[in-house]
Structure 1
Amino acid sequence: MDPHLLRTFVAVARCASFSRAARELGYTQSAVSQHIAALESDLGAVLLHRRPVTPTGVGTRLLEHAGPLLLRLDAARADIARLTVAPAARIVIGVSPLAMTRQFTGTLAEVRRSQPRLEVTVRVLGREALTRDVATAALDLGLVDGMAAPNDPLHLPDAGLLRATAVAEHPLAVALPAQHPLADRAGLRLADLADARWIDAPDTAIPLRQLRTASGADGHRASLRYEGGDVRGLITLIAAGLGLALLPRPVIKGAPGISAVPVSAPRLVHRVEALHSDTLDGPPALLTAALVAAAG
């Protein structure tokens, strides 16, 4: 399967238009049509309905494979580039919102003091985008967070020859308004909160789909969706009584109008990992080592 044809197919399916995909890819519309026809001929199946332009059942299944396949190809190219290009005196770091901790900022400040000429860029990204950008070398290092059992690694997408180094673990707690009837509880079981009103904040809290899986209970439905990357904005919505969220306790502690009730079951933690290539060196290696040391 020609990856160029596969990229064209993904673009047409995403744009729902041959002409828009052609403009995005820098091809003529005729070339895009030829690419799709060649891919369909190779696979022996029709992948797209033409009017309107939507994936067929076979096309939908191919799209499920296409993302990971193309990411692995991009990751392979980036990995080779890392081995052949001399490291620069700069570092681009991706951080998911809940990984932007005092531990990270304090450690970064120490590294800057030891290397004052180092150029640093910090990008706050969602978890999926962060993993993709580390794999494709758009980032030199990523700090990604998530929920896991104690001492277990995060379940991250397959993105090539990447390594994850644990740099922090903190208890998780249910964030709810201070006046909530459950605010004074010593602990809460996630399964007992299946019917509560939740805020779906996929990048600034533990995603609700993971809560359903961890608790083994249906429910945990969203009464509001928050698509921002500002954790303070999410906390403001919780304090206003618009829903609950599962967050690391250090994030909630001391927040006005918020109570943090520990999760008593199942046993879960908030984990932060440094995501990097397995050929880590230079400033990214220095920062990762400093983060691990700071975690003790």
Structure 2
Amino acid sequence: MYGLPAAAAPDLAVHRLATTPYAAIVAADHHLASRPVLALGDLADERFVDAPVGFGNRDVLDAALSARGVVRDIRAEVTETNSIPVFVAGGLGIALLPELLIPPSEGIAVVPLNERITWDFNVVTRTSTGAATAALLAQLLAAY
């Protein structure tokens, strides 16, 4: 599986399984938790929890935010994406994650963003594949 743009893998075949928007994750008792939608400007003074630089979802988000002139105060980096909501629920900060990667978690609220920032969930193969790889790829593409 691959979470970077296809241009980052020029010698491979990148097959998009899904495109998902980023959403904000805040603690259930956070002052932004009851909002129906958030603007990036609403997050300006917040502390963030994110994956380390080099993780696909982090790199895509950093590029999108940089293009919009948004700078984040990242207080914690977590190598297991499924653990980010735990840190958020504990009050360490808020997070922006692709909706597809947000596990069901207690103690958080997921709030959509009013600006569409998306992440592509891809599977990568060699440009020429055998029958087994082609069959698996067909099953993955059909499932998504």
Query: What TM-score comes out, normalization by structure 1 length?
Result: 0.43
Mapping for residues 2-41 of structure 1, pairs under 5 Å:
none
| 1:248 match | 98
| 1:72 match | none
Whose relative contact order is higher, 1 or 2, with alpha carbons under 8 Å and at least 6 apart? 2
Matched, 1:278 2:127: yes
Matched, 1:212 2:71: no
Whether the aligned pair in 1 keeps the contact of 2:50 and 2:84 (CA below 8 Å) is: no
Structure 1 gap ranges (5+): 1-142, 147-153
Larger radius of gyration: 1
CA RMSD of aligned residues (A): 2.3
Give the number of the structure whose residues are more often strand, by fraction. Answer: 2
Structure 2 gap ranges (5+): none
Deviations 1:28-79 (A, max 9, x none): xxxxxxxxxxxxxxxxxxxxxxxxxxxxxxxxxxxxxxxxxxxxxxxxxxxx
3-state DSSP class of the match of 1:264? coil
| 2:49 match | 199
Instruction: Give the letter aligned to residue 212 of structure 1.
Output: L
Q: Which of 263, 267, 270 does residue 113 from structure 2 map onto?
A: 263
| 1:69 match | none
Residues 205, 175 of structure 1: CA spacing in aligned structure 2 closer, same or farther, 3 A cutoff?
Answer: farther
Residues 199, 211 of structure 1: CA spacing in aligned structure 2 closer, same or farther, 3 A cutoff?
Answer: farther
Instruction: Give the letter aligned to residue 76 of structure 2.
Output: L
Q: Shift of residue 188 of structure 1?
A: 1.1
Whether the aligned pair in 2 keeps the contact of 1:199 and 1:244 (CA below 8 Å) is: yes
Deviations 1:121-144 (A, max 9, x none): xxxxxxxxxxxxxxxxxxxxxx11
Query: CA separation in 1, counterparts of 2:98 and 2:65?
Result: 18
Q: Shift of residue 245 of structure 1?
A: 1.4
Mapping for residues 1-296 of structure 1, pairs under 5 Å:
143-146=1-4, 154=5, 156-157=7-8, 159-202=9-52, 203=55, 205-207=57-59, 209-214=62-67, 216-226=68-78, 228=79, 230-252=80-102, 254-265=104-115, 267-295=116-144
Query: CA separation in 1, counterparts of 2:6 and 2:100?
Result: 22
Residues 262, 253 of structure 1: CA spacing in aligned structure 2 closer, same or farther, 3 A cutoff?
Answer: farther
Query: CA separation in 1, counterparts of 2:82 and 2:123?
Result: 23
Query: CA separation in 1, counterparts of 2:103 and 2:143?
Result: 21
Query: What TM-score comes out, normalization by structure 2 length?
Result: 0.82
Aligned residues: 141
Q: Shift of residue 269 of structure 1?
A: 2.4
Identity of aligned residues (%): 30
Structure 1 runs of 4+ with >6 Å offset = none
